[in-house]
Amino acid sequence: MNSRPLLVFDFDGVIIDGMGEYWWSARQACMELVGGDFGPEPLPELVPEAFRLLRPWIHQGWEMVLLAAELLRSDGPLLQRGVKAFSADYPLRSQQALEVWGWRPAQLQEALEHVRRRAVASDRLVWLALHRPFPGVVERLGRLQDEGVDWAVLTTKGAEFTAELLNCFQLMPKGLYGHESGSKPEVLLRLVAERPLRGFVEDRRATLETVLSTPGLSSLPCYLASWGYLKPEDCFALPMGIRLLEPEALAAPLASWP
């Protein structure tokens, strides 16, 4: 067993802000799936506000393609009732949307990853430029080694695309676990059996709550990244075991983290 502590980070919403890429890829995948049914340019090139506001509810990439499709459906609940009503019943609305379109999550995920693979192969620099690191995060990751701590990335993004971005920003984690590796609790359980975990930094509160409710992970220090894609109520009344991590705390030595 490796005795060196490991600090685990989510990727999207913690290390990288990829809002521009999310929409670019989801939009392209959606238009290829629906064909010409909605005209040659049915979706705007700029990120729609509804898509931006719903990002905190998105858990896996395929959902982004589905939301893009819902922005085409003038009689659908998103355009008829708005973001607030859609987000209030997000799992139900998403399932209903899948049924309306006749799609499966795996089909949407593959369409999204196909768009990304093509972009990386043909316009790699343009694709990379759609992402930007959150201020101060790259520099902070570079200082962890001086504190005797390794770091890893645990994400629902595909590992091949995450690796491209990590290389672009010259980031070299000790481990990279994409959606292919299993759920986040599953991966964390494997890691905690191999070495001491210093903590898990994530911007999705529901994920942290699931992690803490998983037998074997209840004592794992969990940090909610305040700079990420948070729902309006996420920072309030945090349950025991989840600490809010502000940028100032992130920059401070690990010994002083909340």
- Whether 112 and 156 share a structural domain: no
Tens of pLDDT, residues 117-163: 999 999 999 999 999 999 999 999 999 999 999 999 999 999 999 99
Tell me whether residue 1 is in a domain: no
**How confident is the model at residue 41, as a pLDDT?**
60
Contact indicator for 207, 15 with CB cutoff of 8 Å: no
Q: What are phi and psi of 237, to 5 degrees?
A: 50, 50
- Partners of 242 in the β-ladder: 222
150: domain CATH number is 3.40.50.1000
Asked which of 110, 128, 146 is the last residue of a domain, the reply is: 128
Provide the mean pLDDT of the chain: 95
* 29 pLDDT higher than 90: yes
The domain of 232 spans 6-17+133-256
- Whether 104 and 155 share a structural domain: no
Tens of pLDDT, residues 44-79: 999 999 999 999 999 899 999 999 999 999 889 999
**How confident is the model at residue 35, as a pLDDT?**
81
Tell me whether residue 59 is in a domain: yes
* 1 pLDDT higher than 80: no
**How confident is the model at residue 37, as a pLDDT?**
64
**How confident is the model at residue 113, as a pLDDT?**
94
Give me the number of domains the chain comprises. 2
**How confident is the model at residue 2, as a pLDDT?**
85
- Whether 90 and 124 share a structural domain: yes
- Whether 82 and 167 share a structural domain: no
